[in-house]
């Protein structure tokens, strides 16, 4: 049963309103670390579970962000990622006024018979390069990138310093694609991903799975994992839509553009 105050409103909603009001009045600004659950419970004379529910709902609404091991903070304007445009995460962060940094977690070669290669990119049938990188905005992790690259399409991939140039920027120079396929779903990240993104086990994430081709040749398969309360995926592009028989509609858009 939900407890209610003298106004008849549930107590957790009153706590939410009080916190939101402080944020709206700039008493608690972007990146402000809010008091602990116990401190808020004492201040509002409510139970810890009541405060916990208020904070959880504010996180789900994107008003607060919880970073494992550091606390709960007031969220700023959320990063936006173009779903269909092939944009560089560093450029997106710069466009939003942030500073990009990254951590190279893995940079390896996989043989064509490697179990991971067969699982994630069986269409290549040859050696792959794999990179795993955490991208940060102003020190906060916003994206975990797992990228698998057809080694024949970018043979010098492993020689690059991806702390100085992003994988995206390098591949723009190294190869070309003619088609892109994206799929998006909500996931519960694994233990390593949660640790790298500094999120707890209750935090849902968005997974953008992207495949690219040059003609019929597979070029990359990339998996981008985003903490749900730190990132918003979007798509905006010009389009001309004409009527066509359903049987004539293509299954995958094939627009030529520079890379991956």
Q: Using 50, 70 and 90 to split pLDDT, how confident is the model at 246?
A: very low
**For residue 108, what are the CA distances in angstroms to 66, 112, 147, 196?**
32, 13, 11, 18
Model confidence over 217-238: pLDDT tens digits? Answer: 899 999 999 987 766 655 554 4
Beta-strand relationship, 100-110 and 128-137: antiparallel
Report the alpha-carbon distance of residue 120 to residue 132 in Å, rounded. 14
Alpha carbon 34 to its chain centroid, in Å, reads 24
Bridge pairing between strands 231-234 and 79-82: parallel
The pTM of the whole model exceeds 0.75: no
pLDDT digits (tens, 9 = 90+) for 63-102: 887 776 678 888 765 544 544 556 788 888 887 788 999 9
Q: For residue range 135-156, what is the model confidence (pLDDT) as tens digits?
A: 999 899 999 999 999 999 999 9
> Average pLDDT over the chain, rounded to whole?
81
User: CB–CB of 202/174 below 8 Å?
Assistant: no
Q: Which domains does the chain have, with CATH numbers?
A: 11-74 (1.10.10.10), 79-248 (3.40.1410.10)
Token pair, residue 48, equals 């810890």
What strands lie across the sheet with 179-187, from one edge to the other? 100-110, 128-137, 140-150, 217-227, 205-214, 179-187
Exposure of 235 by Cβ count < 10 A (0-12 exposed, 13-18 middle, 19+ buried)?
A: exposed
Other beta carbons less than 10 A from residue 178's beta carbon? 15
The whole-number pLDDT of residue 151 equals 93
């Amino acid at each position: 049963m939900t407890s209610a105050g003298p106004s008849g409103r549930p107590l957790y909603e009153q706590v939410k309103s009080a916190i939101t009001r402080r944020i709206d009045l700039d008493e608690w600004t972007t990146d402000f670390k809010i008091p602990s659950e116990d401190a808020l419970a004492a201040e509002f004379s409510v139970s810890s579970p009541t405060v916990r529910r208020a904070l959880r709902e504010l996180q789900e609404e994107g008003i607060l962000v919880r970073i494992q091991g550091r606390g709960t903070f007031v969220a700023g304007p959320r990063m936006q990622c173009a779903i269909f445009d092939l944009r560089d995460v560093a450029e997106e962060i710069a466009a939003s006024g942030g500073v990009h940094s990254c951590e190279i977690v893995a940079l390896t070669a996989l043989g064509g018979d490697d179990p991971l290669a067969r699982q994630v990119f069986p269409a290549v049938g040859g050696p792959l390069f794999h990179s795993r990188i955490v991208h940060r905005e102003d020190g906060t992790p916003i994206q975990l990138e797992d990228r698998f690259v057809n080694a024949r399409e970018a043979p010098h991939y492993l020689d690059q310093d991806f702390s100085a140039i992003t994988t995206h920027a390098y591949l723009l120079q190294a190869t070309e694609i003619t088609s892109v396929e994206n799929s998006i779903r909500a996931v519960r990240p694994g233990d390593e991903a949660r640790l790298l993104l500094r999120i707890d086990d209750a935090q849902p994430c968005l997974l953008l799975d992207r495949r690219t081709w040059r003609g019929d040749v597979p070029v990359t398969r990339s998996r981008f994992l985003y903490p749900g309360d730190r990132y918003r995926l979007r798509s905006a592009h010009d389009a001309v839509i004409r009527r066509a028989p359903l049987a004539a509609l293509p299954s995958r858009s094939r627009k030529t553009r520079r890379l991956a």
